[in-house]
């Protein structure tokens, strides 16, 4: 997900997206622990998306 796409979202949508991504991250970690996860790079991508969302939320709270 690109930051430009996230900047077009409202604050409520960003909070919802953050929750969805955190749930996805939890599920990926669970799959990795049980040995079901084939593509481990998905964990890293999801963590980066969470960080992007949190950064944009923080930017909006400052301004």
Do 45 and 2 contact (CB within 8 A), yes or no? no
Q: How confident is the model at residue 33 (pLDDT cuts 50, 70, 90)?
A: very high
Q: Is residue 3 part of a domain?
A: no
Report d(CA 29, CA 63) in Å as an integer.
34
Residue 37's CB is within 10 A of a number of other CB atoms, namely 15
Q: How confident is the model at residue 1 (pLDDT cuts 50, 70, 90)?
A: confident
Sign of the Cα torsion 53, 54, 59, 61 reads positive
Residue 42, domain CATH = 1.10.287
The total number of structural domains that make up the chain? 1
Any idea which residue has 């599920």 for tokens? 27
Sign of the Cα torsion 59, 45, 18, 35 reads negative
Domain that includes residue 25, residue range:
11-62
pTM: 0.91
Q: Is residue 5 part of a domain?
A: no
Q: Is residue 2 part of a domain?
A: no
């Amino acid at each position: 997900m690109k930051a430009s796409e996230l900047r077009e979202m409202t604050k409520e949508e960003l909070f919802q997206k953050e929750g969805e991504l955190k749930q996805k991250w939890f599920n990926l970690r669970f799959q990795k622990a049980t040995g079901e996860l084939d593509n481990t790079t998905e964990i890293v991508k999801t963590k980066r998306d969470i960080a992007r969302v949190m950064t944009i939320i923080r930017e909006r709270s400052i301004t």
